[in-house]
Structure 1
Amino acid sequence: MLDTINIFGKTFEELWGLFLCEVADDDDFYDVLAYNLAKADRQRFEGELQSLSGKRLRAAICGLGMAVSPDNGTSDLVFRYVGDSDPFVVAAAIDALKRIGSVDWPKIEPTLRHPSAYVRGAALRFARARLGACSLPILVEHLRDGDPIVRENALDELDGIATPQEVPLVAFYLEDPSAEVRQAARTLLDSVAL
């Protein structure tokens, strides 16, 4: 879809009009537009957040996370959405805050117990980004999560910090019922072996 729409040189109003169009099953469409809207006029775009919901709100938060720097106050606005009722919005807020880099781990840590696997996965990505190698015990703990999305995220985030000591633990997930978890375990074991 994005290959057929030229957004270069469009005004904020033109981008906003495209953002409000209904496009089925193409989150990238909304993400790219949100990024460009945030770049075009961040303050105006932030003012529109309250009028959005669902996939557009998720995309707007994602776009803000990609487009802004840590020192412009956007993190406070985005942090409010960590308490949203839509788990996809919460996960987008956590991922945006990870990119912005101005929120500390203790504010995000409670989301590790969120009922949504998408939110728990985002919290693991945040932990890895903010805590580095110190996130190892958190990631290992969440390998036992009941949802394959979280196990896959934990394995992915262990890349670069797992040591040969974790190999037996990771090898267990080569037999996981989820193909995605098995692939993540294989990829991690290959990278630890290098």
Structure 2
Amino acid sequence: MADEFKYESTHYPQLNQMTLPELMANFRAEHLDEEGDEDWWQYDDTALLIRKLDESAGIDFLLQMFNSTQSIAKKRAILSTLTSRPMLDTPEIFDLLIKSLDDQEDVVVMDAIDGLENLKKFDLLDRVMAFRNHPSPYVRGGVFRYISELFPVQAIPVLIEGIRDPHPIPRGVAADMMSELKLNEIELRQFLPYLQSLRNDEDEGVRETARISMAIIEGTEW
């Protein structure tokens, strides 16, 4: 399986020369970026290369690390590595995602929801929608992505309500997802008035996302 997974680090090319034990040691170590925050990119690249060199042993290592670490960046890198590029779907990974829905860190909960979306877990709709009014804007945005990707018709009223979210992150996600839904052109055009209203949003990022989504739906240059 390992030879089916191809990845090379562009951020940290020195990682590409490391052996599996060296990569595991590198993942265990603490890495900070220039601002003194956890270097998520290095953990993510390291985790991906661990999976590349030995998928079976690598996954076991990453699962063990998730259960033993307090590092948010390491947890996020593990969730990303196990559920994307290409995705993996095993009982152990599914259990990890379900467990992560109860994590104390909002971004870990968001990543778990994104992981369930990546793994096409349709039967978790009710569980995910329970986070619709979560206090974290990151989690609410994750809910919008999940329902938009897996349940486009049910997502319509959710996204329309989502553009009124008090935080710009969910508003931006809602605006983005409106043009990404797997619907026909007529169905997508119903979002244009709502996107137009976001062109006057107080947040510049939301305004730009709304503009691009409108252009995509209308089939014009953006």
> What are the residue-to-residue correspondences of 1:1-194 with 2, within 5 Å?
2-8=10-16, 10-19=18-27, 20-24=29-33, 25=37, 26-39=39-52, 40=54, 41-53=58-70, 54-66=72-84, 68-102=87-121, 104-161=124-181, 163-194=188-219
Can you list the C-alpha shifts for 1:76-113, whole angstroms capped at 9, x where unaligned? 21211111111111111111221122352112111111
| Amino acid in structure 2 at the alignment position of 1:62 | S
Q: CA RMSD in A?
A: 2.1
Contact 2:199 2:207 in 1 (8 A): yes
Offset of 1:171 from its aligned partner?
A: 0.2
What is the percentage of aligned positions where both structures have the same residue?
25
* Aligned counterparts of 1:18 and 1:92: Cα–Cα separation in 2: 23
Note if contact 2:113-2:142 (Cα within 8 Å) is conserved in structure 1: yes
Q: CA deviation at 1:46?
A: 0.7
Runs in 1 of length 4+ with deviation above 4 angstroms? none
> Would you tell me which structure has more helix in proportion to its own residues?
1
Show structure 1 runs of 5+ residues with no match: none
> Is the 1:120–1:150 contact (alpha carbons within 8 Å) kept by the matching residues of 2?
yes
Q: Which runs of no fewer than 5 residues in structure 2 stay unpaired?
A: 1-8, 182-186
CA distance in 2, matches of 1:52, 1:115: 25
- Are 2:97 and 2:112, in contact at CA under 8 Å, matched by a contact in 1? yes
Cα shift readout 1:128-173 (whole Å, capped 9, x = no counterpart): 1211333111111111100000000011111133622221121000
Distance 1:73 1:132 in 2: 28
| Separation (CA, whole Å) in 2 of partners of 1:12 and 1:4 | 16
| TM-score, structure 1 as length reference | 0.89
The whole-number CA distance in structure 2 between the counterparts of 1:97 and 1:137 is 21
Distance 2:158 2:133 in 1: 12
Distance in 2 (CA, whole Å) between partners of 1:68 and 1:58 is 15
Please state whether the residue corresponding to 1:85 is helix, strand or coil.
coil
**Structure 2 CA distance, aligned partners of 1:72 and 1:10?**
30
1:2-47 CA deviation, whole Å, 9 max, x = no partner? 5343333633321122222312254222222223334432122212
The structure having more radius of gyration, on CA atoms, is 2
- 137-146 vs 161-170, which moves further: 161-170
Q: How many residues align?
A: 194
